[in-house]
Chain A
């Protein structure tokens, strides 16, 4: 009969044991939320300089006006940048705790920016911390900055509160131009692990736009394994994205006799067919099918009629072909298989891939590529003819 009380005590003891053990509890106001990360080469040899952009969460009533506290970093009114250098990111983050009153909290980080010099030296070590930390998210954008990455985090912002969320939103909007790749940490990990595919990252810089520092996109940075070996401009990047079938919308200008039209890509789909040639080389046939509409028009020529539309389509096909060829030439020049041809060959002919794997770079350079583009016409918007009186 007595042992029934003891069962209750046992349960109480278990609960007490648990109660004492709220180990992982952290109040919201003890956390510093990291929103952006910039990684540059440190001054002395193989040191990394890490600067974190943390959201300064101001209480509803203590919103300080003006340029905000000059704590140990610079920052606008809603963020502070803290930087430190050291051997490994993990160690740097821990050193930062000397300077920051809050626990550095990574999961809400949105962007990781590598400085160009760091990128050329290799980004694997920088990425390792963010791939390994259990709470970090793999859908984080990774970019390469011309010059020092820390400057990117100092850019002035108009719409967003912080440069890092500004940068993330810019990359989000790139599907309108589809000239900048939207690569996440998970994409690069996949590419690096695949041995043959060369990852491409967005390539950005800080420009002085009428007194205020703005972020500007320059195209894409091409990597070999995890080292940056060059970069592509906007047109070449779009060519690459065409091959990778990642183009959503965009525009290209088409010249006519005395008029010009902006052909708007409404929808594009591309397929790559790889075949082996007798002499051991590889032939790639790239088919692109896209629908193109008239975005806007210069001059008074009535384009949306029977004879001008085919001209528009032919022109757009020619431009796309040029862009893809430019991209292929640039990739061959850099020797980086940006299009993932190697991976497709491995998938289709696994045995053949074993032979050509070692000197894949030469095989890629001598690859024969055929580009076929087929455009279909789409509507020309609300008005059929330019705003001009009909020609009598």
Chain B
């Protein structure tokens, strides 16, 4: 229902925007550097007028003759140590000896670049925009009088968060490190996991005003080229001012914005991102946020977690089954409770029916309304628990739940079974965190259908969801892949996971290089021989 509403709004606004699009004013400013240093400096000062953290350091280069030079940088973004030792010191002091050796006929800029500066990355720029971009990104711009080119020297060094435990995806077993807000560190974390030359990080900038760096991580030869091309096409087509978090990008590039199910995954853990990249997917790392997007996402992935592959298969499969069951509980429990107590009372065994009936004897509200009230209170409690600072938050949500539930029951407003049902629903929605958003909406839809048409309504609701899910695509891959278009071979890692040494192939069509490993059946305890050569 919502899809056309959104599309309709989109088309309508696009038409209106098209009309007044041309009125955008185009300021005209000299694009290229001029030879004279003072002129360049005045242009830059004019652009950056008013912001106090821009530093322009003028000094003399003592080459064979005195030449004025200037360094432009942003205070706080740069690492002063690099600037003092590697840039200023060589330019001021030992510039002269080098000059004698090279015979003095070379152009100053390339001379400085090749022999004087001991910084790791140096780029030559002539365009003012690039220079602005350079020093706003934390590098240093070196301008020399008499040369129309400038040097952008990398000297990034701002405060970075330590790589510690990921708050959202806590894990019992497995690496504890998590991504942080700095793009380079994130790419380094992935690079450390996958030391393979094929691993490429294609970067592009998104967002006119914020100029955020976005990086597509994939392994050449494993990820399919069409996938990478579509990602690039969709990323470049984003024409927005600001991109502050990967969530922005997610909403621009996903296939079905109107669906309640997310078709783009996100993770905070480098080992999860590395696993996905190794499987042929692509990861989109956005500067300024620890959440890395993984594309394409399948529905079964929200029931998988990193530690499933680190535990032994039996326990891992148990975990997976519990996650699926708890997702079923969180969407079906309220609807089934209302449907059974108001439509199909004969489904309750006799003793349970009598206790439920006596518990619901004096309740003023019909089951449906009672359920809505309790669901609402639990949502409020959960939100309050998250917003408050950590220790207070946890305490509040537990205390709140007990107090509210208990007093509601004793006051006779809510039946005891209802509190149990809603408590279980709330708890089980924490088990699959990345499906919690879709579960909240789906739970309400099924509840309404259950209250109106009973079991039949719920069946219709579930079938509708199945139809909707199977029609979703995530970057070309059917959303319910190993289950809906059922594939025996690929269901080795769908809901249940086959032992690692059986997982020989990557998912079909997910990558060109199918073979992951040869079958290496683990030693079954028969390969230990004693010194006489017989098997122990």
Q: Kindly identify which residue among B4, B356, B448, B457 contacts A7, using a CB–CB cutoff of 8 Å.
A: B4
Known: A8-B4, A27-B367. A59 touches B361 (CB 8 A): yes
Closest to B7 in A: A4
Known: A18-B452, A29-B357, A29-B360. A61 touches B342 (CB 8 A): no
Q: Considering the chains assembled together, what is the distance between the CA atoms of A137 and B350 in angstroms?
A: 12
State whether B350 touches A62 (Cβ < 8 A).
Answer: no
State whether A33 touches B362 (Cβ < 8 A).
Answer: no
State whether A57 touches B354 (Cβ < 8 A).
Answer: yes
Known: A29-B357, A60-B361. A8 touches B350 (CB 8 A): no
- Chain B residues contacting A26 (CB-CB under 8 Å) are 342-343, 345
Q: Considering the chains assembled together, what is the distance between the CA atoms of A26 and B357 in angstroms?
A: 12
- Chain A residues contacting B359 (CB-CB under 8 Å) are 60
Q: Considering the chains assembled together, what is the distance between the CA atoms of A165 and B351 in angstroms?
A: 10
Q: Considering the chains assembled together, what is the distance between the CA atoms of A5 and B8 in angstroms?
A: 8
State whether A58 touches B452 (Cβ < 8 A).
Answer: no
> Quick one: which of B337-375 are within 8 Å of A by CB?
341-343, 345-346, 350, 353-354, 356-363, 366-367
For B356, B358, B454, the residue with the greatest tally of chain A CB atoms inside 10 Å of its CB is: B358
Q: Kindly identify which residue among B1, B342, B346 contacts A27, using a CB–CB cutoff of 8 Å.
A: B342
- Chain B residues contacting A29 (CB-CB under 8 Å) are 357, 360-363
B288 adjacent to chain A (CB < 8 Å): no
Select the stretch in A104-112, A224-232, A324-332 that faces chain B.
A104-112
- Distance from A164 Cβ to chain B, minimum over Cβ atoms (Å): 10
B172 adjacent to chain A (CB < 8 Å): no
A391 adjacent to chain B (CB < 8 Å): no
Q: Considering the chains assembled together, what is the distance between the CA atoms of A57 and B454 in angstroms?
A: 24
Q: Considering the chains assembled together, what is the distance between the CA atoms of A107 and B349 in angstroms?
A: 10
- A224-250: CB near B (< 8 Å → 1, else 0) gives 000000000000000000000000000
State whether A105 touches B345 (Cβ < 8 A).
Answer: yes
State whether B357 touches A108 (Cβ < 8 A).
Answer: no
- Chain B residues contacting A27 (CB-CB under 8 Å) are 341-342, 360, 366-367
- Distance from A180 Cβ to chain B, minimum over Cβ atoms (Å): 22
B453 adjacent to chain A (CB < 8 Å): yes
State whether A28 touches B451 (Cβ < 8 A).
Answer: no
A306 adjacent to chain B (CB < 8 Å): no
State whether B361 touches A21 (Cβ < 8 A).
Answer: no
Known: A18-B453, A25-B451, A28-B341. A57 touches B346 (CB 8 A): no
State whether A4 touches B345 (Cβ < 8 A).
Answer: no
State whether A57 touches B357 (Cβ < 8 A).
Answer: yes
- Distance from B362 Cβ to chain A, minimum over Cβ atoms (Å): 5
Q: Considering the chains assembled together, what is the distance between the CA atoms of A165 and B342 in angstroms?
A: 24
B211 adjacent to chain A (CB < 8 Å): no
- Distance from B339 Cβ to chain A, minimum over Cβ atoms (Å): 10
State whether B358 touches A59 (Cβ < 8 A).
Answer: yes
**A-B pair number, CB within 8 angstroms:** 90
- Distance from B451 Cβ to chain A, minimum over Cβ atoms (Å): 7
Q: Kindly identify which residue among A4, A19, A61, A165 contacts B5, using a CB–CB cutoff of 8 Å.
A: A4
A358 adjacent to chain B (CB < 8 Å): no
State whether A25 touches B342 (Cβ < 8 A).
Answer: yes
Q: Considering the chains assembled together, what is the distance between the CA atoms of A26 and B345 in angstroms?
A: 9
- Chain A residues contacting B454 (CB-CB under 8 Å) are 24-25
Closest to A134 in B: B346
A158 adjacent to chain B (CB < 8 Å): no
B11 adjacent to chain A (CB < 8 Å): yes
State whether A59 touches B452 (Cβ < 8 A).
Answer: no
- Distance from B256 Cβ to chain A, minimum over Cβ atoms (Å): 16
State whether A11 touches B342 (Cβ < 8 A).
Answer: no
- Distance from A125 Cβ to chain B, minimum over Cβ atoms (Å): 24
Closest to B360 in A: A28
- A1-44: CB near B (< 8 Å → 1, else 0) gives 10011011001100000110110111111010101000000000
A55 adjacent to chain B (CB < 8 Å): yes
State whether B412 touches A61 (Cβ < 8 A).
Answer: yes
A135 adjacent to chain B (CB < 8 Å): yes
- Chain B residues contacting A21 (CB-CB under 8 Å) are 452-453
State whether A107 touches B345 (Cβ < 8 A).
Answer: yes
State whether B361 touches A22 (Cβ < 8 A).
Answer: no
State whether A25 touches B360 (Cβ < 8 A).
Answer: no
Q: Kindly identify which residue among B343, B354, B448 contacts A55, using a CB–CB cutoff of 8 Å.
A: B354
State whether B452 touches A108 (Cβ < 8 A).
Answer: no
State whether B346 touches A137 (Cβ < 8 A).
Answer: yes
- Chain A residues contacting B354 (CB-CB under 8 Å) are 33, 55, 57
State whether B453 touches A22 (Cβ < 8 A).
Answer: yes
- Chain B residues contacting A11 (CB-CB under 8 Å) are 1
Q: Kindly identify which residue among B4, B350, B361 contacts A110, using a CB–CB cutoff of 8 Å.
A: B350
- Distance from A111 Cβ to chain B, minimum over Cβ atoms (Å): 12
How many residues from A make CB contacts under 8 Å with B?
34
- Chain B residues contacting A5 (CB-CB under 8 Å) are 4-5, 8
Closest to B415 in A: A28
- B92-112: CB near A (< 8 Å → 1, else 0) gives 000000000000000000000
Q: Considering the chains assembled together, what is the distance between the CA atoms of A22 and B366 in angstroms?
A: 13
Closest to B8 in A: A4
- A58-69: CB near B (< 8 Å → 1, else 0) gives 111110000000
> Quick one: which of A124-160 are within 8 Å of B by CB?
135, 137
Closest to A136 in B: B346
State whether A19 touches B452 (Cβ < 8 A).
Answer: yes
Q: Considering the chains assembled together, what is the distance between the CA atoms of A137 and B344 in angstroms?
A: 13
- Chain A residues contacting B12 (CB-CB under 8 Å) are 1
Q: Kindly identify which residue among B357, B363, B366, B457 contacts A33, using a CB–CB cutoff of 8 Å.
A: B357
- Chain B residues contacting A1 (CB-CB under 8 Å) are 8, 11-12
- Chain A residues contacting B356 (CB-CB under 8 Å) are 28
- B179-193: CB near A (< 8 Å → 1, else 0) gives 000000000000000
- Distance from A13 Cβ to chain B, minimum over Cβ atoms (Å): 12
> Quick one: which of A55-93 are within 8 Å of B by CB?
55, 57-62
State whether A8 touches B1 (Cβ < 8 A).
Answer: yes
> Quick one: which of B441-474 are within 8 Å of A by CB?
448, 451-454, 457
- Distance from B449 Cβ to chain A, minimum over Cβ atoms (Å): 8
Q: Kindly identify which residue among A12, A22, A31, A58 contacts B358, using a CB–CB cutoff of 8 Å.
A: A58
State whether B7 touches A57 (Cβ < 8 A).
Answer: no
- Chain B residues contacting A18 (CB-CB under 8 Å) are 452-453, 457
- Chain B residues contacting A58 (CB-CB under 8 Å) are 358, 361
State whether B353 touches A108 (Cβ < 8 A).
Answer: yes
Q: Considering the chains assembled together, what is the distance between the CA atoms of A28 and B360 in angstroms?
A: 7
Q: Considering the chains assembled together, what is the distance between the CA atoms of A28 and B361 in angstroms?
A: 8
- Distance from A34 Cβ to chain B, minimum over Cβ atoms (Å): 11
Q: Considering the chains assembled together, what is the distance between the CA atoms of A18 and B453 in angstroms?
A: 8
Q: Kindly identify which residue among B8, B350, B361, B453 contacts A108, using a CB–CB cutoff of 8 Å.
A: B350
> Quick one: which of B124-171 are within 8 Å of A by CB?
none
- Chain A residues contacting B453 (CB-CB under 8 Å) are 18, 21-22
State whether A57 touches B361 (Cβ < 8 A).
Answer: yes
- Chain B residues contacting A4 (CB-CB under 8 Å) are 4-5, 7-8
> Quick one: which of B298-352 are within 8 Å of A by CB?
341-343, 345-346, 350
- Chain A residues contacting B342 (CB-CB under 8 Å) are 25-28
- Chain A residues contacting B4 (CB-CB under 8 Å) are 4-5, 7-8
- Distance from A306 Cβ to chain B, minimum over Cβ atoms (Å): 51
Known: A25-B451, A31-B345, A107-B345. A57 touches B358 (CB 8 A): yes
Closest 8 CB pairs of A and B: A107-B346, A59-B361, A4-B4, A57-B357, A59-B362, A57-B358, A4-B8, A28-B357
CB<8 Å pairs between A and B, sample of 22: A4-B8, A8-B4, A11-B1, A18-B452, A21-B452, A22-B452, A22-B453, A24-B454, A27-B341, A27-B367, A28-B342, A28-B357, A29-B361, A33-B353, A33-B354, A57-B354, A57-B358, A57-B361, A61-B362, A61-B412, A62-B361, A108-B346
Other contacts beyond A4-B7, A59-B412: 13, CB < 8 A: A5-B5, A19-B448, A24-B454, A25-B451, A26-B343, A28-B342, A28-B360, A31-B345, A33-B354, A58-B358, A59-B358, A105-B345, A108-B353
Residue numbers of B with Cβ under 8 A of A are: 1, 4-5, 7-8, 11-12, 341-343, 345-346, 350, 353-354, 356-363, 366-367, 412, 448, 451-454, 457
